[in-house]
């Protein structure tokens, strides 16, 4: 495994800096990218010794440049597994732009109430649970759904939500239990749907049914699900079905800096342009980019929505 000192991009990897581009049409004020990560600088925020991957540095300054170039007024940083339980890089970013940013942390049942309260005061609005990773195993440093039941009551007290990254087939099994905890559940990466099974697949249809129910939220984030870079046309039917099911519970996330996508690394502006090409609806655009994230993440001093 590489050490934090060797941070050059893998051979064939497009630089995440090339992914910082402007969309063809300006986003409305208050637009939010709900899924991105920061890494480094590593002399201040070293990666966990036990990790599944070693990303190149993508520090706060580059992240802010991405938001500004894309026209994003707001952003949500998701704690990555390469940092284990250390949220230092994310908390530093939140402290430097407290009105603009929110965070999603990672913790297990051993976290104390004082630490959770401190995270809340710093702008954290949820915890992430991961059930995916290389070779069919969970990423090192991630927390799985086995911790959910112990943490859900504490999330409910804080007004937080749970973010879940898991395959769609696993979600079809777990969602009734997760939603029964009485907290909002947010699915990363379009619920990790399986394109080969089609829109009519039982797992995706179960996801749609829960989305219509209103307690489930989902991030429209294309790159990690599609097999057809750069147009992602295999996801268009799923994208349409999700928008039709419940546009009030959809969010947009870039997934910048696009870890481990190599030559399939997209540009942020390109992804926004695709959303516009597929929807062409100004009211829907405002809901997904502005109104929905403002409600869920508690921007403008409003506590998160249920």
Let me know if residue 303 belongs to a domain.
no
- Please confirm, yes or no, whether 248 is among the known catalytic residues: no
Please give the tally of structural domains in the chain: 1
Measuring CA to CA, how many Å separate 251 from each of 96, 130, 267?
24, 19, 18
Which of the residues 33, 188, 203, 255 is marked catalytic?
Answer: 255
pLDDT at residue 54 tops 60: yes
Let me know if residue 9 belongs to a domain.
no
Model confidence band, residue 227 (pLDDT cutoffs 50, 70, 90)? confident
Q: What is the CATH number of the domain that holds 128?
A: 3.20.20.140
Q: What percent of the chain has pLDDT over 70?
A: 91
Let me know if residue 223 belongs to a domain.
yes
pTM of the model: 0.92
pLDDT (average), residues 179-206 = 97
Contacts of 142 (CB under 8 A, 6+ apart): 81, 106, 128, 130, 133
pLDDT at residue 38 tops 80: yes
pLDDT (average), residues 204-219 = 96
Tell me phi and psi for residue 139, to 5 degrees. -60, 140
Which range in 50-64, 132-146, 241-255, 260-274 is most confidently predicted, on average pLDDT? 241-255
Let me know if residue 39 belongs to a domain.
yes
The whole-angstrom separation of Cα 149 and Cα 100 is: 31
What integer pLDDT is reported at residue 6 of this predicted model? 32
Let me know if residue 199 belongs to a domain.
yes
Rg for the chain, CA atoms, rounded: 18
pLDDT (average), residues 211-226 = 95
pLDDT at residue 11 tops 80: no
pLDDT at residue 13 tops 60: no
Range of the domain at 63: 28-298
What integer pLDDT is reported at residue 15 of this predicted model? 58
- pLDDT tens-digit readout, 114-143: 999 999 999 999 999 999 865 567 788 889
Let me know if residue 11 belongs to a domain.
no
Let me know if residue 142 belongs to a domain.
yes
Write the DSSP string, 21-50.
---SSPPPTT-EEEEE--B--TTTSPPPSS
Let me know if residue 12 belongs to a domain.
no
What integer pLDDT is reported at residue 5 of this predicted model? 32
């Amino acid at each position: 495994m590489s050490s934090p000192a060797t941070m050059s991009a893998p051979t064939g990897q497009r630089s995440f800096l090339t992914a910082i581009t402007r969309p063809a049409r300006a986003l409305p004020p208050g637009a939010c990218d709900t899924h991105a990560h920061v890494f480094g600088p590593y002399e201040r925020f070293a990666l966990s010794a036990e990790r599944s991957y070693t990303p190149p540095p993508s520090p706060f300054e580059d992240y802010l440049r991405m938001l500004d170039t894309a026209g994003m007024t707001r952003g949500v940083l998701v704690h990555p597994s390469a940092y284990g339980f250390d949220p230092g890089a994310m908390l530093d970013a939140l402290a430097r732009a407290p009105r603009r940013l929110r965070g999603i942390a990672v913790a297990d049942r051993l976290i104390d109430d004082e630490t959770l309260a401190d995270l809340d005061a710093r702008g954290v609005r949820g915890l992430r649970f991961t059930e995916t990773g290389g070779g069919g195993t969970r990423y090192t440093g991630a927390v799985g759904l086995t911790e959910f039941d112990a943490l859900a009551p504490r999330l409910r007290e804080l007004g937080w939500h749970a973010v879940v990254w898991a395959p769609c087939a696993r979600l079809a099994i777990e969602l009734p239990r997760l939603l029964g905890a009485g907290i909002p559940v947010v699915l990363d990466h379009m619920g990790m749907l399986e394109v080969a099974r089609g829109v009519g697949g039982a797992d995706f249809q179960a996801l749609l049914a829960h989305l219509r129910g209103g307690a489930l939220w989902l991030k429209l984030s294309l790159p990690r699900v599609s097999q057809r870079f750069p147009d992602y046309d295999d996801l268009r039917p799923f994208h349409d079905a999700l928008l039709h099911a419940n546009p009030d519970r959809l969010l947009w996330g870039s997934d910048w800096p696009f870890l481990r996508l190599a030559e399939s690394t997209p540009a942020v502006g390109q992804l926004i342009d695709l959303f516009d090409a597929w929807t062409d609806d100004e009211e829907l655009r405002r809901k997904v980019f502005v109104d929905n994230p403002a409600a869920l993440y508690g921007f403008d001093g409003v506590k998160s929505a249920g």
